[in-house]
Structure 1
Amino acid sequence: MLRIGLTGGIGAGKSAVSGRLAARGAVVIDADKLAREVVAPGTPGLAAIREAFGDDVIADGALDRPALARIVFADEARRRQLNAIVHPLVGARTAELMHAAWPEAIVVHDVPLLVENGLAPAYHLVVIVHAPVDVRIDRLHRDRGMTTDEARARIGSQATEEQRRAVADVWLDNSGSLAELEKSVDTLWDDRLVPYEANIRERRNAWRSGRAEIVPHDPTWPVQAERIANRLRTALGERATRVDHIGSTSVPDLAAKDILDMMVSVRSIEDADAIADTLNDAGFPPNPRIRSDEPKPADPDPAHWAKRYHNNADPGRTVNLHVRVEGWPNWRYALLFRDWLRADAGARADYERHKLALAAEHGSYEAYAIAKEPWFDRALPLAEAWSKQAGWSA
């Protein structure tokens, strides 16, 4: 199933987004509702809170939420104490609901503290709902009766906008009308989430067509790559020895195709085959047409250039995922060329000129990739010379 993490600051409009996604067919698991469920009257959760915080947070046999909020939002240690009680209970209930969802489901996990608790890598996509602080304060005053100081305190206790942007695959602006927000959600559902789920289920790469267009360097490429790397590390665990952002998008100031090249390192080619299903489930179906890189003269044995290749199932983010054996020559060269180009401005400029010329001459992605190989052959001695001079190792 496709797992979507949905979050946003208090008052941003997350509930409106989850409601619209539910109306379109998503299975919504609301962490706030579960947090209420696990501390309802008569539950072990409520008993644990009473023991930790005393009778002052209980009213008529139920949890007095305003009283508890006044304690935990004024004292970080007490908030951590509350989280230690509630979070495991919510986690167990969440796992039950996810297990009960049908295999083709698009599951939206509505989590207020997704960013704060470092949960982003567990999802195929993270959707952030955002609104300016002044808009959120007005909403909290109007809808929840909070004073301005109370609203600012609640907002200040949560993740910053910068922290949310670092994990956001989708940024939904909710500073306008509800109709505008729902239109954005519908577009997300139709154009990205539905095809993404189908691509994973059918082990199909998202279709990539058109010319190999070179664009100016995007400073967000490394941030996007780190999100993908964190998902891969979470999915693969110790089966991957490392995960790297490679290729042109990993080199600052270098124009490139808007395609993130990622490399998963494994201990053997058999391990590369063994993780194929896991990578597919994580959103990277295998591409069996490519099974190796082009051998170079220093090690012409084709067996040492084998790899496994995966692409993106997500229609919204193009990725080439190379699974290579750590220590093999193709693994080493991928890291060598990246680090050399990062260090050598002249080589970087020469490569960019070459890329722009080839992209203009060769229309398709495949033809462009083949046409670049002679440049790599000519550049390899220069990269090797740099590695010796710099004392570089992978």
Structure 2
Amino acid sequence: MLRVGLTGGIGSGKSTVAGRLAEHGAVLIDADKLAREVVEPGTPGLKAIAEAFGEEVLAEDGSLDRPKLAAVVFNSAEQRERLNGIVHPLVGQRTAEMLAEAADDAVVIHDVPLLVEKNYAPMYHLVVVVDADIEERVRRLTETRGMPEADARARIAAQATTEQRRAVADVWLDNSGTPDRVLAQADALWADRLVPFEANVRLHRSVDYGNARLYDYNPEWPLQAARLAARIKLITGGLRVDHVGSTAVPGLPAKDIIDLQVTVSSLEQGDAFAEPLAEAGFPGDRRHHSADPGRLANIQLRLEGSTDWRHALLFRDWLRASEQERASYLEFKQGIAKQYTSGSAPENVKDAWFDKALPRAESWAQQTAWSPS
């Protein structure tokens, strides 16, 4: 099963994307829809809301009067938390039931408006954010929902910022244009990423890493590494996860593969995480790889204090600190890329360079009082 978190600001059109993915066969869990269901007449949720906010938030027919409730909670963080404390557990319970009912090979799309605000992103194999220009969102809210412009802008301002959403987005779908454009993006996402990703997770299969091509440094690499690290930390109960390797060195061209190092206190501890990591999209045994065709990654589980553990951190920090050494390493890597254009280079092909460079790195560490901690 592949769990995909889908979110986006009000008026962004994420429901359009959710509906399209459901047409392709995804199991859609709509948090907003569930939030309405758990407070329908006769439910424990509605009873709890009436007790907490008074009978005046009920309509004449006994149903929830949403505008009246919104007027009570919208401008009060305390009241919103009070409401969320009633509704969210009920939604969570129903969500868990729907996940349990889904098939083993399902692609589950969890449509969650507050995914960013609640820090839910690490719970998913992939997070998809649908976005649109603010002025376009305001136009949609005023024209299609009849919302006053001031209310539309206030609601947008009360939600997560664009920067906060970008920080958690594995996939960013721009829906500022006509619907056909975002639907085409959703179609490609389904065929090229979600379907093969689900199969890889189910079969505990990693992605073919291709050739040794070098890419210009991508400032998104640290953000991508941070997202992967957050998932691994959630799985391992907060173990140390470091972004290492060439993609962790600003300005250094590299293969488009994120390298992460997970610090374990024993090899047995690392072995215990093999199955949970595979279920989360990182199959392997002590050395794990990504199952996501859209984001290649290597995850090394290493014993704290071991030679390999220390060297991964040392070389990263040394290369970050020395422009001259970065240039030397880049020249060496470019030679490898030219030599192995048709396939991946052998794992030990860089050993000779590192063996010669190690004394220089150790000298730098001594001069700077560098520590792996």
Q: TM-score range by the shorter chain?
A: over 0.9
Residues 92-114 of structure 1 show CA distances to partners (whole Å, capped at 9, x for unaligned) of 11111111111111111000110
Query: How much has 1:367 moved relative to structure 2?
Result: 2.1
The alignment partner of 2:349 has SS state of helix
Counterpart code for 2:359: P
Partner residue in 1 for 2:299 = 321
User: Contact (CA 8 Å) 1:359, 1:368: kept in 2 or not?
Assistant: no
Q: Which residue does the alignment assign to 1:346? A: 324
1:109 alignment partner AA: H
State the alpha-carbon separation in 2 of the partners of residues 367 and 3 from structure 1: 33
Out of 331, 336, 354, the residue aligned to residue 309 of structure 2 is 331
Partners of 1:212 and 1:368 within 8 A in 2? no
Q: Distance in 2 between matches of 1:213 and 1:368?
A: 14
- Counterpart check, 1:258 vs 2:256: yes
Taking the TM superposition and a 5 Å limit, the aligned residue runs for 1:215-226 are: 215-226=215-226
1:271 aligned onto 2:297: no
- State the match for 1:79 in structure 2: 80
Q: TM-score, normalised by structure 1?
A: 0.91
Matching of residues 10-49 of structure 1 within 5 Å: 10-49=10-49
In structure 1, distance between residues paired with 2:220 and 2:346? 24
What does residue range 31-70 of structure 1 map to in structure 2 within 5 Å? Answer: 31-60=31-60, 61-70=62-71
Q: Which secondary structure state, in structure 1, belongs to the residue aligned with residue 208 of structure 2?
A: coil
Amino acid at match of 2:334: L
CA distance in 2, matches of 1:230, 1:159: 19
Q: Residue deviations 1:251-280, cap 9 Å, x none?
A: 111111111001111122222222111111
Match of 2:240 in 1: 242
Matched, 1:367 2:365: no
Helix, strand or coil: the match of 1:126? strand
Query: What code does the residue aligned with 1:25 have?
Result: G
Matched-pair identity in % = 57
Kindly indicate whether residue 366 of structure 2 is the aligned counterpart of residue 388 of structure 1: yes
Give aligned pairs, total: 371
Question: AA paired with 1:17?
Answer: V
Following TM superposition, by how much is the alpha carbon of 1:373 offset from its aligned partner in structure 2, in angstroms?
Answer: 1.3
Residue 369 of structure 1: how far off its partner (Å): 4.2
Deviation at 1:137, TM superposition (A): 1.0
Whole-Å separation in 2 of the counterparts to 1:157 and 1:236: 33
* Partner residue in 1 for 2:202: 201
Quote the Cα distance in structure 2 between the aligned partners of 1:145 and 1:79: 24
Structure 2 CA distance, aligned partners of 1:37 and 1:236?
34
Q: Closer, same or farther in 2 for the Cα pair 1:365/1:376, shift >3 Å?
A: farther
C-alpha distance in 2 between matches for 1:70 and 1:136: 22
Secondary structure of the 2:144 match is helix
Residues 362 and 368 in structure 1, CA contact (< 8 A), matched pair in contact too: no
Deviations 1:80-134 (A, max 9, x none): 2111111111111111111111111111100011001100000000000111111
2:336–2:345 contact (8 Å) kept in structure 1: no
Whether the aligned pair in 2 keeps the contact of 1:242 and 1:265 (CA below 8 Å) is yes
**Aligned-partner Cα distance in 1 for 2:120–2:312:** 30
Q: Give the letter for the 1:143 counterpart.
A: T
Give the CA RMSD over aligned residues: 1.3
Rounded to whole Å, the distance in 2 between the matches of 1:362 and 1:33 is 52
CA deviations on 1:224-263 (whole Å, 9 max, x unpaired) are: 100000001111215xx31111001111111111110011
CA distance in 1, matches of 2:27, 2:65: 30
Matched residue type, 1:283? G
Q: Tell me, in whole angstroms, the C-alpha distance in 1 between the residues paired with 2:209 and 2:306.
A: 29
Identify the residue that residue 126 of structure 1 maps to in structure 2.
127
Counterpart AA for 1:282: A
SS at match of 2:206: coil
SS in 1 for 2:48: helix
Question: How many Å separate the matches in 2 of 1:189 and 1:310?
Answer: 25
* Letter in structure 1 aligned against 2:207: A
Q: Secondary structure at the match of 1:107?
A: strand
Indicate the residue corresponding to 2:190 in structure 1. Answer: 189
SS of the aligned residue for 1:6 comes to strand
SS at match of 1:321: strand
Confirm or deny: 8 A CA contact 2:212 2:336 kept in the other structure. Answer: no
Shift of 1:364: 5.2
Q: TM-score scaled by structure 2? A: 0.96
